[in-house]
Amino acid sequence: MKLRPILLVEDNLDEAHLTKRALRKSHVLNDIVHVKDGAEALEWLEGTGAYADRDPEETPQVIVLDLKLPKVDGLEVLRKVRAKDRTRLTPVVVLTSSDAQRDMVDSYELGANSYVRKPVEFDAFAQAVAHLGLYWVLVNELPDPVRS
Amino acid sequence: MGEGVEETPPAARDGAGAEVAALRARVAALESELAMARGELLRLEYVVSHDLRAPVRVISGFAQALLSDHGDGLVPDARHLAERIVANGVRMGQLIDGLLLLSRVSRSEMSVQPVDVAEMAREHFRRLVARKADRKVDLLVPETLVVEADPQLARIVLEQVLDNAWKAVAAAEGGRITIEPAGRAGGDGEGRFAIRDEGIGFDPRYAEKLYGVFQKLHRDDEFPGVGVGLAVVERILGRHGGFVHAESTPGGGARFEISFSPPEGPR
């Protein structure tokens, strides 16, 4: 069985590097696709623009989504993901520095499956990401992709 | 608020009336200036603490990665340097979290209602004990102790003062923490309590420094922490119209009186 990729949407390259590293340490074998803003995330998911040769039916195992993103912000990405039949059941984990109640409520209302605030201490951060990988990639099960 | 102002002198005294109007306008202008300055300050606190988080995490993260992936290849001095980067990243993180907590307790909405601080104290104490089971510390607290306060903010006050008492007692190698009502007998001081510990205490000459942000009266090895707890406590009590008052002698424990309502007038 082919493993579905993890889609990591994160504009800070250093944070993306550390997140990928922490995911790898949690023994996640899936490909980790890193996109740098909300617009690129949508292109990847829909197989348009720079990702025109990608099969959009191949949905990710989980989308790890930062909220504060250039161009299209995280909440907008979430809204679009939920509006599309293909991805409306795809797990979305919001991973953000924001601890504003508003962001948390908005995320859940738009259908986020989980909200994780990045701890400022790196050890705690690495642990949170490892848990996240373990659960959403290795424990959680998804229905077969819906062919539309 | 302005009960005293209602009794304006008769309209005949035009001069005085104009003066009052001018003063009122001046007060209103100052009030709006103050509100703007406060708002500005809170926004700054929030943005600073927010946007500082990412680079701090990244700095200590890469230093940590260097140690765990290439630690064997590093000579002892290089290892030590990387460890200092990690340790200071952790400290910076704690400072930022302290600032964020301070900003949050200043901005949060309040809904004042009866809360049982005795129950909150027991809950938090259990957490402290679970973290450091080897410590011999006793908590004495009444069955219930009800104050009128915002529940979330009251919980933060209890956590901060208990954390402090715990650290003070731990530094003195054991002892007791007591929480008791502190209202004057028969007085209107209900909703006031005191927390006493048999810990290392502090020098009362520097008592006012206790409430400064990131101000500490002890070295880090005597009393760990970044020095934000009592600033948080003071700010929360201030928002309730209450106060905190501390007494201590070095080595002789400390007593913090906590009130969610204004001080009683002299009788």
Nearest to residue A74, comparing CAs of A46, A112, A125? A112
Nearest to residue A5, comparing CAs of A81, A60, A44? A60
Percent of chain A with pLDDT over 70: 97
Which residues in chain B are closer than 8 Å to A120, comparing Cβ atoms? 53, 56-57, 93, 96-97
Tokens read off for B126: 């259990």
Residue B227 CA to residue B95 CA, distance in Å, equals 9
Helix locations, A47-120, DSSP H:
74-83, 101-109
The CB density around residue B83, as the number of other CB atoms within 10 Å, is 15
ipTM value, please give it. Answer: 0.74
Positive or negative, the CA dihedral A16, A56, A130, B224 is positive
Residue position matching structure tokens 């800070």: A12
* Predicted pLDDT at B267: 46
Tokens read off for B202: 């502090």
Tell me the per-residue pLDDT of A123-145, one tens digit each, with 9 for 90 and over: 888 888 989 888 888 888 888 76
Residues for chain A: how many in total? 148
Residue type, A7: L
**pLDDT at B235 > cutoff 80:** yes
Higher pLDDT, B43 or B88: B88
* Predicted pLDDT at B1: 45
**Considering chain A, what is the average pLDDT of its residues?**
89
* Predicted pLDDT at B154: 94
Q: What is the nearest CA distance from B234 to chain A, expressed in angstroms?
A: 23
Residue B88 CA to residue A120 CA, distance in Å, equals 12
Q: Do B61 and A120 touch (CB under 8 A)?
A: no
Tokens read off for B221: 């090895």
* Predicted pLDDT at A117: 87
Euclidean distance between the first and the last CA atom of chain A, given in angstroms as a whole number: 21
Tell me the per-residue pLDDT of A22-77, one tens digit each, with 9 for 90 and over: 998 888 889 999 999 999 999 999 999 999 999 999 999 999 999 988 888 999 99
Which residues in chain B are closer than 8 Å to A14, comparing Cβ atoms? 58, 61-62
Give the pLDDT band (50/70/90) at residue B2: very low
In the DSSP assignment, the letter for residue A134 is I
List Cβ neighbours of B9 (8 Å cut-off, separation of 6 or more): B16, B17
Nearest to residue B159, comparing CAs of B111, B217, B230, B208? B230
**Torsion of Cα atoms, B111 then B117 then B119 then B123, to 10°:** 90
Euclidean distance between the first and the last CA atom of chain B, given in angstroms as a whole number: 23
Asked if B60 has any chain A CB less than 8 Å from its own CB, the reply is yes
Task: Indicate which of B50, B57, B90 best probes the interface with A, i.e. most A CBs within 10 Å of its own CB.
Answer: B57
Residue position matching structure tokens 């003070």: B168
Q: Is B193 helix (H, G, I), strand (E, B) or coil?
A: strand
Q: What is the nearest CA distance from A24 to chain B, expressed in angstroms?
A: 13
Higher pLDDT, B3 or B36: B36
Q: Do A118 and B53 touch (CB under 8 A)?
A: yes
pTM score above 0.80: no
Q: How far is CA A7 from CA A2, A64, A65, A80, A93, in A?
A: 15, 6, 8, 15, 10
Nearest to residue B89, comparing CAs of B110, B63, B70, B126? B63
Residue position matching structure tokens 């209107």: B188
* Predicted pLDDT at B179: 92
Lowest mean pLDDT among A92-101, B112-121, B151-160: A92-101
> Mean pLDDT across the stretch B239-248?
89
List Cβ neighbours of A64 (8 Å cut-off, separation of 6 or more): A6, A7, A8, A9, A10, A19, A93, A95, A132
Asked if B54 has any chain A CB less than 8 Å from its own CB, the reply is yes
The CB density around residue A107, as the number of other CB atoms within 10 Å, is 23
